[in-house]
Amino acid sequence: MATRKKTEAPPATESAPFAELMQQMAHLPQISPTALADLQSDYLKQATALWNSALGQGEAPAVSDRRFAAPAWRANPAASFMTQLYLLNGRTLQQMAAAIEADDKTKARIRFAVQQFVDAASPSNFLALNPEAQQLALDSHGETLARGLQLLWADVQRGHVSQTDESAFEVGRNVATTAGSVVFENELFQLIEYAPLTPQVHARPFLLVPPCINKFYILDLQPDNSLIRYAVTQGHRVFVVSWRNPDASVRHLTWDDYVESGVIQAIRVAQSISGEDRINTLGFCVGGTLLACALAVLAARGEQAAASLTLLTTLLDFADNGVLDLFVDEASVRLREATLGLDSPKGPQLLHGQELATTFSFLRPNDLVWNYVVGNYLRGEAPPAFDLLYWNGDSTNLPGPMYCWYLRHTYLQNELKLPGRLTVCGEKLDLTAIDAPVYVYGSREDHIVPWQAAYRSTQLFAGRSRFVMGASGHIAGVINPPAKGKRSHWIAKSPALPAEPEAWLRGATEYPGSWWTDWSTWLAAHAGALKPAPKAPGNRKFKAIEPAPGRYVKVKA
């Protein structure tokens, strides 16, 4: 008779992974039993009421979500019930995420992940669950589905979901059309000088530094919404940096390269062509961060190159980075450094533009992803032509080392605001050493650079600062020409800038229309006397190379 083997505990080497997993699970964020019981009770009450209303024993609550606004959702009892249940489940999941006992950043990450899941799981995103798309397919005898498949295949070939009719635009033909000439180029950028539109121009030139993570023509979309053209019509001699869309040949470039060979070189050319030692400067988003670094480097070398500094939706104090803060911690930055940066075993790599574009789109997935999935593929409707969304899809690459430095020293370690902490281009940075008046703009609904974060830049300079807040978001708030009479802006009556942004807001007054007019008046006061406009671009040293917008901006990622 066989004897039963004695049961033995598994060796320590086999049980260790299980024990480690149990230990890790014990430290996972949890919801207190009391909070969980309350959520369960509330959910059951709402689910019961929803079921009773489906059986005709009560009235279902109104649905204001525009994803379910079509009559087909209300006309179909099953779809109506499914919509209400989906919204209830989504609210409950978010309440559970909010009730988790964890630090603020962990809770914010969980809420973000839950919202991504909830948005992706919407019944409107699936043909089998979308009565509006089904009705359109029946009414069109399947034509909407056929067009949707064609649009889907075209997007597969492009590598991204189309947000606009990309065939409607061409850089240099109907976007980026303000007349000018490229007067300098190197491996990093082309410098464009725009042709004057007034018989006289201000003596001091005006240099714009756009973000290198996007193309410059967000500032020159159409003639009626072009900040560049507006500045030219105000009598400024305008120069704009057009960053190169990096390829493998420049994947090794660093933050120092972008400051020294990029912004500082652009300042040198503008000074040479204009004959002015001090120029007016503007930086937009990351362009503002680069510009502030460049001016601080020059200040450390004993040179004050800026007669004025305008910062549009720019981060210099990275204590509050909005939703982007969710993606940055020590582990994620180390991973980037090991795969893209100077520490990469394969050497420096490019951060590809489509990865950046996808990240930014999923910050607002319903508006910038699922809205187009449903419209393009389920309803078979090609997206309309929209210049801003065309620009949004025209992505750019970044050199890995430059990107990794930016992540670590700004977003992660927030060192730029600390005098003497960072060394850039061989110089210790101190923003307080920049001797120039500063105009700081923030957008009230900006999810990339919260207006409070933009405001904090006013506390970092020793000179006079002015802060203005505009309505809308990161792009639409900035690109708001006065002629359209849209939106509004806030200006404080007192020139004092308290440390807390909310204290400033309490003393601010809302004014209708664009902030551009206030900024234009401010800029003119620092632009110098008027003199005859130049008859030709450049000078003997820096001659015209090609017409604006140049070659660099036309290169696709």
Q: Give residue-wise pLDDT tens across range 523-546.
A: 999 999 999 999 999 999 999 999
DSSP state of 398: E
pLDDT of residue 19: 53
- pLDDT above 60 (res 18): no
In a domain, 19, yes or no: no
Does pLDDT of 16 surpass 80?
Answer: no
Domain with 462, as residue range(s), is: 180-352+397-554
Strands (E), 237-327: 238-243, 279-284, 306-312
| Within a domain: 17 | no
| pLDDT for the residue 184 | 98
Contacts of 368 (CB under 8 A, 6+ apart): 163, 360, 361, 362
Find the mean pLDDT for residues 220-231: 97
- Supply the pLDDT for residue 87: 94
Residues 159 and 78 in one domain: no
Residues 420 and 527 in one domain: yes
Based on the residue annotation, tell me whether 285 is a catalytic residue of this protein: yes
On whether the CB atoms of residues 293 and 416 are closer than 8 A, the answer is yes
What's residue 353's pLDDT?
87
- 68 occurs within a structural domain: yes
For position 13, what pLDDT does the model report?
41
**Predicted local distance difference test score (pLDDT) of residue 15:** 44
Q: Domain check: are 507 and 528 in the same one?
A: yes
pLDDT of residue 11: 43
What confidence score (pLDDT) does residue 20 get? 52
The secondary structure of 114-176 as a DSSP string is HHHHHHHT-GGG-GGG-HHHHHHHHHTTTHHHHHHHHHHHHHHHHTS--SS-GGG--BTTTBS
In a domain, 23, yes or no: no
Where in 279-384 does DSSP place strands (E)? 279-284, 306-312, 350-351
Rounded CA gap, 366 and 120, in Å? Answer: 8
Check pLDDT > 50 for residue 511.
Answer: yes
The reply to whether 126 and 255 lie within a common domain is no
Cis peptide before 498 (omega within 30 of 0): no
Count of CB atoms within 10 A of residue 53's CB? 16
Same domain for 434 and 522: yes
Q: Do residues 273 and 412 lie in contact, with contact meaning Cβ atoms separated by under 8 Å? A: no
Tell me the CB-side half-sphere exposure of residue 217, using CA atoms within 13 A. Answer: 32
For residues 300 and 438, state if they share a domain: yes
Q: Is the pLDDT of residue 317 over 70?
A: yes
- CB count within 10 Å of CB 141 equals 9
Instruction: Look at residue 3 in the predicted model and tell me its pLDDT.
Output: 43
Average pLDDT over residues 392-410: 95
Same domain membership, residue 303 and residue 184: yes
Q: Examine the pLDDT at 1 and tell me if it is beyond 70.
A: no
Distance CA(336)–CA(549), nearest Å, equals 33
Q: Are 214 and 391 in contact (CB under 8 A)?
A: yes
Q: Phi, psi (5° rounding) for residue 380?
A: 70, 30
**CATH assignment of the domain containing 241:** 3.40.50.1820
Given the residues 212, 285, 293, 404, select the one marked as catalytic.
Answer: 285
Residue 489 has pLDDT above 90, yes or no: yes
Considering the domain boundaries, does residue 71 fall inside one?
yes
User: Looking at the predicted structure, is the pLDDT value of residue 260 above 80?
Assistant: yes
Same domain, 155 and 55: no
Q: Say yes or no to pLDDT of 451 above 50.
A: yes
Quickly state the pLDDT bin for 237 (edges 50, 70, 90).
very high
Domain boundary among 341, 365, 386: 386
Higher pLDDT, 235 or 10: 235
Given a cut of 50, whether residue 22 has pLDDT beyond it is no
Q: Do 482 and 442 share a structural domain?
A: yes
Q: What is the pLDDT of residue 6?
A: 42
pLDDT band with cut points at 50, 70 and 90 for residue 5: very low
Report the b/e string of 522-541 with b at 16+ CB within 10 A.
bbeebbbeeeeeeeebbeee
Q: 376 with 417, same domain? A: no
Asked if residue 58 has pLDDT above 70, the reply is no
Give domain status of residue 243, yes or no: yes
* Mean per-residue pLDDT over the chain, rounded: 92
Residue 69 lies in a domain: yes
279-302, pLDDT tens digit by residue?
Answer: 999 999 999 999 999 999 999 999
Q: Is 480 helix (H, G, I), strand (E, B) or coil?
A: coil
Domain check: are 232 and 205 in the same one?
Answer: yes
User: Residue 175 carries which DSSP code?
Assistant: B
Q: How confident is the model at residue 193 (pLDDT cuts 50, 70, 90)?
A: very high
Residue 159: predicted pLDDT: 84
- In tens, the pLDDT along 138-173 reads 999 999 999 999 999 999 998 889 999 999 999 999
List, for residues 388-398, the tens digit of each pLDDT value: 999 998 999 99
Query: Which range, of 103-107, 394-398, 411-415, 465-469, averages the lowest pLDDT?
Result: 103-107
Residue 438: both structure tokens together: 């500063």
Q: What percent of the chain has pLDDT over 90?
A: 79
Q: Tell me whether residue 3 is in a domain.
A: no
| Domains held by the chain: number | 3
Say what the pLDDT of residue 291 is. 98
pLDDT at 468 over 80: yes
Say yes or no to pLDDT of 444 above 70: yes
Among positive and negative, which fits the CA dihedral 148, 149, 154, 155?
A: positive
Domain identity same for 446 and 457: yes
Q: What is the pLDDT of residue 29?
A: 73
Q: Model confidence at 258, in pLDDT bands (50, 70, 90)?
A: very high
Q: What is the pLDDT of residues 113-132, one digit of tens each?
A: 999 999 999 999 999 999 99
